[in-house]
Each structure stands twice: as C-alpha cells, then as structure tokens.
Amino acid sequence: MFVKATGLADPLVASCLPLNVATVKPGHEIITQGDDGDNFYVIDSGKYDIYVNTDSKNRKLVGNYNDEGFFGELALMYNMPRAATIVAATDGVVWGLDRQTFRRIVLKTAFNKRKKYEKLIEGCDMLKSLDMYERMNVCDALSSQTFKDKERIIAQGDKADCMYFVEEGEVRVAMLNKADPKATSEQEISRVGPGGFFGELALVTRKPRAASVYAIGPTKCAVLDVYAFERLMGPCMDIMKRNIDNYESQLTAIFGDKTNISDLR
Ligand code: 1OR
Ligand code: 1OR
C-alpha cells in the first residue's frame, strides 16, 4: 500500500526522514476537518477514530485505524481542506512528516500510481461508482501484471486470492461444464476487454474459481488482492451481484441449466 510503497513504514527509511514523533492521549484531535493541512501522519501504535461532519454541529464516526496505517495525505496531495477529523481513541504514537517534505518525497511515488490508474478507473463503470477517497485507496492497492497470448490467468477450481481489471488487451473466459460428466473440453463463455473485470465471483462467493481465464494476445491487468478487495470493494457489491445475476441467465442459455451457479451459492 501507500506506506509500503513509499518505504515509510521501514524504521531505517523513517530514521533518515525529518519525522516528528508525537505521543497522543485518548481524545487528542490530531486533524480537524476543514483545517488546512500541515502534516502527514504514519501510525506507530494506538487506535484512531475517523469522523466526518454531518452538519455544522454534528459529526459521524465513519471508521477507525487500529495500530497501523496513515492519514492526512489528502489535504497535502490535493491542496484541499482536511476531509475528516482524526481523534486518538487510545494512547498512541504517530510520526508526522511536514507538508514540504511529504510533497517532495512521498507525493512523487503515490501520485504517479494514482495517476497511472486514473484512466483505468475512468474506463470502468464499477470503479467509477466509488467516491474520490475510495478510488484513491483502490489505486494504492492495485498492481499491474502482464500476460502472453494464450497464457492462463485463472484456472477453474483453484482457490482465489485476487481479482483483475483489464487495462490493455482482452481475455477469454472458458468453462468445463461440471454438470455434464462426459464434458472434457472447455467452452468459451465470454470475453472481457479494457474497462472490464473478472475473478470477482470466487471472492464474492468464497468458492473455488468458477471458470478459467486466458489472455488473447498480450494482455495487461491490474490486480487487486483479496484483502484489499474485502476492505475496499464493499461499495461495489451491488454492481458485482447484478453482474453475477447476468452470469446466471447466460449460464441457462449456454448449458441449459443453472447447475453450475447453484453449486456456487
Ligand atoms: P486529510 O488530509 O483530508 C483527514 O485529513 C484524513 O482522514 C484524510 O486526509 C484521510 O487520510 C483520512 N474520507 C476522507 N478522508 C478520510 C476518510 C474518508 N477516512 C480516512 N480519511 N472516508 C472514510 C472511509 C472509512 C470517507 C467518508 C465519507
Ligand atoms: P472467478 O473468481 O470464479 C473465473 O474466476 C472468473 O470468470 C469469474 O470469477 C468471473 O469473473 C468469470 N459468465 C461470465 N463470466 C464468468 C462466468 C460466467 N463464470 C465465471 N466468470 N458464467 C455464465 C456462463 C454462461 C458462469 C457462471 C457460473
């Protein structure tokens, strides 16, 4: 992720940076929504609550950090007011990195990554449905992988640990009809091109891969691992489930029954 990518979590790297270590007590408001951004913070220890204002007097708890992670990057990256309030929920220690150093050292890596995946997100209806903060977290979690023509990306029946978004090229989804004991060869069931995704089904159903997927020509995909999927793709679940309902009707049309998909549920 962001901190990993920048190496900031590495104590050796951290010791070379002008980091200010701060100890905090429960209730300490480290960042106040609406303020100008001064520091970026990396959590060393402790729990921190995230609040977002609902109106001028009230705020809502929207999440928390537990002993790891970072916050305060948005205002510094995008020159905008703080988007949330961060309050220490326990005793804790955070490292602060001042605005100038943050922009000089960290911004280059993280911003380039976010820029790199901006096009992918714009071209993908599902990811486009995320808000800016959610999209940026997805960008931080993605990594690209390239495949040669005919290379198998996913094998039917395997355990799943990630999903894929097609950046360049195309893939072929093929399936062995398990309902037919005589079936020996795979049948192509769909193709997915740029802006499309695959490999989400097993992560949603927590079952083995339902089909195999092969590259058609040189293909580049952005990969999201299962941990990031569970952390970040919640808001896309409705779209993904609608997509899975589509599989169901196609399945009936191609194989004549829904045995495969009902096996999956
Ligand atoms: P910042 O510089 O704007 C507040 O200062 C920090 O809170 C922000 O950077 C992020 O690092 C962090 N929306 C916006 N900022 C968030 C959120 C968030 N969560 C943490 N931060 N959302 C919460 C999602 C659980 C979306 C709320 C609608
Ligand atoms: P997965 O994690 O199961 C294989 O790994 C991927 O192939 C799967 O996620 C889906 O992204 C994709 N129609 C279209 N795409 C499918 C289908 C499908 N099954 C898997 N994938 N089906 C309808 C067939 C006419 C089959 C549904 C079981």
> Which domains, from first to last, does the chain contain?
2-105 (2.60.120.10), 117-263 (2.60.120.10)
Q: Atom of ligand 1 at shortest distance to CA of 71?
A: 11
pLDDT for position 43: 96
Ligand nearest to the CA of 259: 2
Distance 174 CA to ligand 2 centre (A): 8
| pLDDT tens for each residue of 192-219 | 999 999 999 999 999 999 999 999 999 9
pLDDT for position 15: 61
Which residues lie with the beta carbon below 6 Å from any ligand 1 atom?
31, 37, 50, 52, 62-63, 71-75, 82-84, 86, 133
DSSP state for residue 215 in the 8-state scheme: E
Q: How many CA atoms lie within 13 A of 189 on its CB side?
A: 24
pLDDT for position 35: 97
Give phi and psi for 173, each to the nearest 5.
-100, 125
Q: Atom of ligand 2 at shortest distance to CA of 163?
A: 2
Distances (CA, A) of 98 to 29, 39, 105, 146, 251: 17, 5, 11, 37, 55
- The verdict on the CB of residue 210 being under 6 Å from ligand 2 is yes
- The verdict on the CB of residue 2 being under 6 Å from ligand 2 is no
| pLDDT tens for each residue of 100-120 | 888 887 777 777 888 889 889
pLDDT for position 179: 66
248 is in an annotated binding site: no
Q: What angle do CA 58, 63, 68 make, to 5 degrees?
A: 135
Please check whether residue 219 is in contact with residue 146, taking contact to mean a CB–CB distance below 8 angstroms. yes
209 is in an annotated binding site: yes
pLDDT for position 165: 97
Q: Kindly calculate the radius of gyration of the chain based on its CA atoms and give it in whole angstroms.
A: 22
Ligand nearest to the CA of 173: 2
pLDDT for position 250: 78
Its pTM stands at: 0.68
pLDDT for position 14: 57
pLDDT for position 201: 95
In the chain (265 residues long), the average pLDDT of successive 10-residue segments reads: 46 66 96 96 96 94 94 89 97 94 80 85 91 88 96 97 97 84 84 96 93 97 94 90 85 65 48
